[in-house]
Amino acid sequence: NAGVTQTPKFRVLKTGQSMTLLCAQDMNHEYMYWYRQDPGMGLRLIHYSVGEGTTAKGEVPDGYNVSRLKKQNFLLGLESAAPSQTSVYFCASSYGRQAGNTIYFGEGSWLTVV
């Protein structure tokens, strides 16, 4: 039972490089999310998706793009990485739109931009 799977787990980028973080969930969830975690700041929502083919901005969307071409996958792209994007990135998913639905998280992707 994999749940939410993220790849890669660790990555070092040079400033200006691009990369894509991959997220897959096998729970048939409609909603998917990308968060970033920085020390002392909790988790902040970058982008989210309420279904296949849809995406929306969260709290800190600048510098990131996302795509949800398949229900089970949610991709996070950095077009031109900056040191401020050094962070831990978490993908998550939930069943539906109700606020009480539990959100399930992946194991995280540690990204360093030098």
Pull the structure tokens for residue 64: 């990131």
At closest approach, how far in Å is the CB of 10 from another protein?
Answer: 10
Pull the structure tokens for residue 82: 């900056």
Residue 87 CA from chain centroid, whole number: 12
At closest approach, how far in Å is the CB of 79 from another protein?
Answer: 23
At closest approach, how far in Å is the CB of 11 from another protein?
Answer: 15
Residues of the shown chain interacting with another protein in the complex, contacts defined by CB under 8 A: 4, 31, 33, 40-45, 48, 50, 56, 58, 90, 92, 94, 96-108
Asked if 17 contacts 31 with a C-beta cutoff of 8 angstroms, the reply is no
Strand partners, 5: 24
At closest approach, how far in Å is the CB of 75 from another protein?
Answer: 18
CA distance 12 to 45: 22
Nearer to another protein, 28 or 40 (CB): 40
Nearer to another protein, 16 or 53 (CB): 53
Asked if 47 contacts 57 with a C-beta cutoff of 8 angstroms, the reply is yes
Nearer to another protein, 19 or 103 (CB): 103
